[in-house]
Chain A
Amino acid sequence: MSNIGWKDVLSDDMPVELAHEIDIFEGQMELMGQGKLDEKVFAETRLRRGVYGQRYDNGQRHDGFESRELAFEELERFKGPDTLWHAPGMQRIKVPSGGLTPKQLDVLAQVADEYSDGILHITTRQDIQLHFVHIEDTPDMMRRLASVGITTREACGNSVRNVTCCHLAGVCRTEAFDATPYSNAFADFLLGHDDVQDFGRKFKPAFSGCESEACGLVMMHDLGYLAQIQEVDGKPKRGFKVFVGGGLGTVPHQAKVLSEFTPEEEILPQAQAVSRVFARLGEKRNRNRARIKFLVAKVGIEEFRRLVEEERKTLPHDDRWTAYLDTLPHYEEKPTRPPTFLNGQVGSSEFNQWFETNVYSQRQDGYSVVTVNLPLGDLTSKQTWELADVARKYVGDNVRSTVEQNIVLRWVSDSDLPNLYEELKAIGLGDAGAGTIVDITACPGTDTCKLGIASSRGLAGELRTRLTVKSASLPDAIKDLKIKISGCFNSCGQHHVSDIGFFGNSRRSGNFKMPHFQVVLGGMWRENAGSYGLAVGAVPSKTVPEVVDVITNRYVEERSKGETFQEWIGRIGKKEARSMIQPFMKLPDFEQQPEFFSDWGDPRVFSLGDIGIGECAGEVVSLFSMEISPAESEAFEAQVALDENDPARADAMAYSSMVKAARALVRTQFLDVGDSPDRIVEEFKSRFFDTELFFDQYAKGKFGQYLLDRHNNPNPNPDNDSAHRLIEEALLFIEATHVCESKVGGNVLIEI
């Protein structure tokens, strides 16, 4: 054996620039090891290489009874604030437009089994994530990926994240044109560009080929592109309707139209101008308000548009803006096999079921797109290279990841479908149900994410199992509903744009905390994530399968012909929607139902750190619990007011709910605070905000600031948009009061 490493072995296979970047990163790791680099600087550096933190990397883990220190070696060595050097982390790998080749799949499989737990996880932004990776393995991992043209650069951090694109682009029956080459050119142009290095927060772009389908979900992105053809001088002209300032996160924003039509030669300079405006005027100090959506909301879309147009005029010319256009006429995907037809071949019932849900007939006759339905977005290393071989045989390089955490094989010649199905089934990837209610999206949640509150993957797995068992007997009306789950309010599971969405939180019952999920109903996946659902109430995690049954059964019983789930929720109203889940909102005591106090797939008692000493559980409730309840009701009333198209009342109720929640919290320390909002806010600020007791570990003072902002700057003319946002903020503020009360420990008890 010799000392030859991957760097030497792959030196001829890596693009020079990528190889150099990885060497630099390795050097920075070395400097960090020598204590010559600032911790925060290194953290951002590694994030921009996709090297992310993971749960327990602060060296603490709660084992169900107590929080224990994990005895990593070199406990004094860090890779970022509160992040131990030797703790395993997550590696995010960018996949622009979701495009993958069999060769890339081979290498991805190999690095997964040598450096992670051997599982590749597809994310809701078409990335691939590997977990439990040691930082010292990352340079070689990056080199191996670079050798097949994959970079992890700017996969995380305050940068332009993976550029997503509809997985059907180019073969879709309803698109204006194939957005893929534009999406790829955009990704190439902005990767490492000087003008995208000084953002206050991340920046997520998306491309879509048509307006009515879900496609690229452009309405929920920082910058979204919708393909359009306009007639200019009597000739069809390609361009994009451009959206800016969308986003999910804690408070979802619908994107605004930046331009009704940006011709193809202008999309890159316009994006550069947007980047410059965002870098110059976007928030830098308060990361909770640093996404571009806040800048757009702050200055207004008209002013933002003017700023971008002014900026555009100042840009020095760059040949790359249009160079890629010359290659467009030659851009094409090559099928591996000639077009063929099934010609009424009779398949097995299993095949027919799979065909119905997993096969999309392309616009090109004789070809189909096959969705490989990955449970929870996961596949093993072994499955990955087996899938690579299937792809080689049937579709060549025409493989893409999807935002629903699946993989598609494009350009499957139709008569190959039965054999392809058998081969997928043989490697454990033949599940039917793609895009249906069983194909549940979930972020990593408490499995690996540092921010996870509840087990989104545990819940998704449970729902998938239960729904799959009865999938054959499910009424047609609910088969195609979308269920999406996030482990916390940060929306990585995209719960806002599903029919039935959930995001994790917690409640206290007696002296114990109980994992909960907020139920979010009526979001719209179609029309590029056309509208967002609203939370109707939180239920214990263990009741969610029953909650899903109750909601879907009621929908089946009550829907009128052709009525969508979203229309039905709109018709019955949020008040009635809440009444469906009300019976599940009653919290049992630990002694009655201890299983409610642990999460799906995790038997540890959920946060024992909150056990009080000497309290007489079951016979007393805290004053806080009594007083927070009206605040929650008021927030709900605000949603009803919004439903009734009364934004002024919705705004007032949302504000009032925050004041009530703040009062409940203040009264845990100061009973005589009175009812004056000024006094309540003043006491809240001095006791909980200024002292940072109210601060979230990651969101810091963000949620408290919602109350202070609304109190100090009431909106004289609230519209539906602003009222909707305030309601979302009120819900988050109330959640934060629960967390704060649990943390500080209310000491005022009343007998009931």
Chain B
Amino acid sequence: MIAPQRLCVKFYFEELSVDVDTFIPVFHRWIREDVVSNEMLLDVADYKHILDGPAIFLIGHEADYVVDFTDGKPGLLYVRKRDAGPSLSDALGTTLTQALNGVKLAENDVELAGKLKLRTDGATIVLLDRLSYPNASSNGDGVSSAADAAQAQLAENLTALFGSDATLTRVANDEREPLTFELNAPSAPNVDTLLSQLESVN
């Protein structure tokens, strides 16, 4: 299965006790110190005036990091825009690795440490590609749709990483919205373990 145009993963905050403005100087410093390997960071965009939406963007060439409050669920959203690899599995590996790296950077940042914690026992995964992965409802003729196939592939990859009890549920959102899945992983390992597992897979 080919990589989607864009692949996103959002990990949720278990704790967030800093004002969202705090991320602006932090992200500028990340750019200046070039803290993300294999990605070029470009700029910071402030959209905190939008209610219940993306608040602060760290815009990059390959990916964006977003402090996101959509649906009242604060989290760190990673949007992989390019060079994620040729296949859906490759793209998932790249996206998860970089997203978790972003989680680690945020949790250990000198200005954020102790003030935020992200959980790994759940995440939202979005395939932003309505051409290859339309969010169409099942046609009921028994033929596997791109959405079903993607779900099967992602579930296989994710259970290998997050534990055999991990489940991936398709979100019943509107067809205009992108294909979206919720990961529930009650026995998910911590960030470092996940990263080392991803490294060994890659």
Residues of B within 8 A of A458 (CB): 46
Given A64-B32, A380-B54, A385-B177, decide whether A461 and B46 contact each other with a Cβ distance below 8 A. yes
B contact residues, total (Cβ < 8 Å): 40
- Answer whether residue A334 sits at the interface, using C-beta atoms and an 8 A cutoff: no
Q: Is the CB of A61 within 8 A of B50?
A: no
Q: Is the CB of A603 within 8 A of B25?
A: yes
Contact segment of B37-45, B97-105, B164-172, B183-191? B37-45
Given A71-B40, A382-B70, decide whether A119 and B47 contact each other with a Cβ distance below 8 A. yes
B56 to chain A, nearest CB (A): 10
Distance, CA A394 to CA B28, complexed state (A): 43
Given A64-B28, A382-B177, decide whether A375 and B46 contact each other with a Cβ distance below 8 A. no
- Answer whether residue B51 sits at the interface, using C-beta atoms and an 8 A cutoff: yes
Contact segment of B113-121, B129-137, B192-200? B129-137
Taking each of A4, A119, A382, which has the highest tally of chain B beta carbons within 10 Å of its own beta carbon?
A: A382
Q: Is the CB of A461 within 8 A of B5?
A: no
Q: Is the CB of A65 within 8 A of B45?
A: no
Given A119-B47, A380-B50, decide whether A5 and B131 contact each other with a Cβ distance below 8 A. yes
- Answer whether residue A82 sits at the interface, using C-beta atoms and an 8 A cutoff: no
Q: Is the CB of A70 within 8 A of B40?
A: yes
Instruction: Say which residue of B28, B48, B54 sits within 8 Å of A603 (CB atoms).
Output: B28
- Answer whether residue A568 sits at the interface, using C-beta atoms and an 8 A cutoff: no
Q: Is the CB of A117 within 8 A of B57?
A: yes
B64 to chain A, nearest CB (A): 6
Instruction: Say which residue of A56, A114, A117 sits within 8 Å of B64 (CB atoms).
Output: A117
Given A1-B1, A380-B54, A383-B53, decide whether A604 and B28 contact each other with a Cβ distance below 8 A. yes
A12 to chain B, nearest CB (A): 16
Instruction: Say which residue of B28, B40, B82, B131 sits within 8 Å of A9 (CB atoms).
Output: B131
A contact residues, total (Cβ < 8 Å): 47
- Answer whether residue B128 sits at the interface, using C-beta atoms and an 8 A cutoff: yes
What sequence of 0s and 1s flags, for each residue 1-38 of chain B, a beta carbon within 8 Å of any chain A beta carbon? 11001100000000000000000110010011000000
- Answer whether residue A496 sits at the interface, using C-beta atoms and an 8 A cutoff: no
Given A114-B6, A385-B177, A603-B28, decide whether A378 and B50 contact each other with a Cβ distance below 8 A. yes
Taking each of B5, B47, B48, B81, which has the highest tally of chain A beta carbons within 10 Å of its own beta carbon?
A: B47
- Answer whether residue A428 sits at the interface, using C-beta atoms and an 8 A cutoff: yes
Given A72-B40, A114-B129, A603-B24, decide whether A375 and B177 contact each other with a Cβ distance below 8 A. no
Instruction: Say which residue of A1, A61, A457, A604 sits within 8 Å of B132 (CB atoms).
Output: A1
A458 to chain B, nearest CB (A): 7
B109 to chain A, nearest CB (A): 15
Taking each of A6, A114, A447, which has the highest tally of chain B beta carbons within 10 Å of its own beta carbon?
A: A114
- Answer whether residue A293 sits at the interface, using C-beta atoms and an 8 A cutoff: no
Instruction: Say which residue of A70, A134, A382, A465 sits within 8 Å of B53 (CB atoms).
Output: A382
Task: Name the interface residues of A462-509: CB closer than 8 Å to any CB of B.
Answer: 464-465
Residues of B within 8 A of A376 (CB): 49
Contact segment of A105-113, A519-527, A655-663, A741-749? A105-113
A424 to chain B, nearest CB (A): 11
Residues of B within 8 A of A71 (CB): 40
Q: Is the CB of A375 within 8 A of B49?
A: yes
Measured CB to CB, the nearest residue on chain A to B26 is: A603
- Answer whether residue B146 sits at the interface, using C-beta atoms and an 8 A cutoff: yes
- Answer whether residue A88 sits at the interface, using C-beta atoms and an 8 A cutoff: yes
Residues of B within 8 A of A55 (CB): 43
Distance, CA A472 to CA B40, complexed state (A): 45
- Answer whether residue B174 sits at the interface, using C-beta atoms and an 8 A cutoff: yes
Distance, CA A191 to CA B68, complexed state (A): 40
Q: Is the CB of B49 within 8 A of A88?
A: no
Residues of A within 8 A of B59 (CB): 88, 117, 132
Q: Is the CB of B28 within 8 A of A63?
A: yes
Given A63-B28, A428-B53, A603-B25, decide whether A113 and B42 contact each other with a Cβ distance below 8 A. no
What sequence of 0s and 1s flags, for each residue 82-113 of chain A, a beta carbon within 8 Å of any chain B beta carbon? 00001010000000000000000010011001
Q: Is the CB of A379 within 8 A of B40?
A: no
Distance, CA A603 to CA B70, complexed state (A): 25
- Answer whether residue A602 sits at the interface, using C-beta atoms and an 8 A cutoff: yes
- Answer whether residue A81 sits at the interface, using C-beta atoms and an 8 A cutoff: no
Instruction: Say which residue of B2, B32, B130 sits within 8 Å of A114 (CB atoms).
Output: B130
Measured CB to CB, the nearest residue on chain B to A55 is: B43
A611 to chain B, nearest CB (A): 16
Residues of B within 8 A of A64 (CB): 28, 32
Distance, CA A563 to CA B6, complexed state (A): 56
Q: Is the CB of B52 within 8 A of A117?
A: no
Taking each of B57, B82, B177, which has the highest tally of chain A beta carbons within 10 Å of its own beta carbon?
A: B177
Q: Is the CB of A88 within 8 A of B42?
A: yes
Distance, CA A737 to CA B56, complexed state (A): 36
Which secondary structure characterizes the binding site on chain A? mixed
Residues of B within 8 A of A134 (CB): 81-82
Instruction: Say which residue of B24, B49, B176 sits within 8 Å of A385 (CB atoms).
Output: B176
Q: Is the CB of B178 within 8 A of A113?
A: yes
Q: Is the CB of B61 within 8 A of A86?
A: yes
Residues of A within 8 A of B25 (CB): 603
- Answer whether residue A27 sits at the interface, using C-beta atoms and an 8 A cutoff: no
- Answer whether residue A704 sits at the interface, using C-beta atoms and an 8 A cutoff: no
Q: Is the CB of B28 within 8 A of A6?
A: no
Distance, CA A63 to CA B129, complexed state (A): 33
Residues of A within 8 A of B178 (CB): 113-114
Distance, CA A375 to CA B49, complexed state (A): 6
Residues of A within 8 A of B45 (CB): 117, 131-132, 447-448
Instruction: Say which residue of A1, A86, A119 sits within 8 Å of B146 (CB atoms).
Output: A1
Q: Is the CB of B32 within 8 A of A63?
A: yes
B89 to chain A, nearest CB (A): 13
Q: Is the CB of A114 within 8 A of B54?
A: no
- Answer whether residue A118 sits at the interface, using C-beta atoms and an 8 A cutoff: yes
Taking each of B2, B50, B52, which has the highest tally of chain A beta carbons within 10 Å of its own beta carbon?
A: B50
Distance, CA A131 to CA B45, complexed state (A): 10
Instruction: Say which residue of A5, A56, A110, A382 sits within 8 Å of B43 (CB atoms).
Output: A56
Q: Is the CB of B50 within 8 A of A375?
A: yes
What sequence of 0s and 1s flags, for each residue 703-742 of chain A, a beta carbon within 8 Å of any chain B beta carbon? 0000000000000000000000000000000000000000
Given A86-B61, A117-B59, A385-B177, decide whether A6 and B131 contact each other with a Cβ distance below 8 A. yes
Q: Is the CB of A61 within 8 A of B49?
A: no
Measured CB to CB, the nearest residue on chain A to B134 is: A9
Residues of B within 8 A of A380 (CB): 50, 53-54, 70
Q: Is the CB of A56 within 8 A of B50?
A: no
Residues of A within 8 A of B130 (CB): 110, 114
Distance, CA A585 to CA B32, complexed state (A): 32
- Answer whether residue A630 sits at the interface, using C-beta atoms and an 8 A cutoff: no
Measured CB to CB, the nearest residue on chain B to A118 is: B54
Measured CB to CB, the nearest residue on chain B to A388 is: B176
- Answer whether residue A149 sits at the interface, using C-beta atoms and an 8 A cutoff: no
Q: Is the CB of A385 within 8 A of B28?
A: no
Task: Name the interface residues of A362-419: CB closer than 8 Å to any CB of B.
Answer: 375-376, 378-380, 382-383, 385
Residues of A within 8 A of B53 (CB): 380, 382-383, 428
Distance, CA A428 to CA B43, complexed state (A): 26
What sequence of 0s and 1s flags, for each residue 1-40 of chain A, a beta carbon within 8 Å of any chain B beta carbon? 1001110010000000000000000000000000000000
Residues of B within 8 A of A70 (CB): 40, 42, 61
**CB within 8 Å of A: which residues of B?**
1-2, 5-6, 24-25, 28, 31-32, 40, 42-54, 57, 59, 61, 64, 70, 81-82, 128-132, 146, 174, 176-178
Supplied contacts A119-B47, A378-B50, 16 more A-B pairs, CB within 8 Å: A5-B131, A55-B43, A61-B31, A63-B28, A109-B176, A114-B129, A114-B130, A132-B59, A134-B81, A380-B70, A383-B53, A385-B176, A464-B49, A601-B24, A601-B46, A602-B24
Closest 6 CB pairs of A and B: A428-B51, A375-B49, A603-B25, A63-B32, A601-B46, A380-B53
Q: List 26 A-B contacts (CB under 8 A).
A: A1-B1, A1-B146, A4-B131, A56-B42, A63-B31, A63-B32, A71-B40, A72-B61, A113-B128, A114-B6, A117-B64, A119-B47, A119-B54, A131-B45, A132-B59, A134-B81, A378-B50, A385-B174, A428-B50, A447-B46, A458-B46, A461-B46, A461-B49, A602-B24, A603-B25, A604-B28
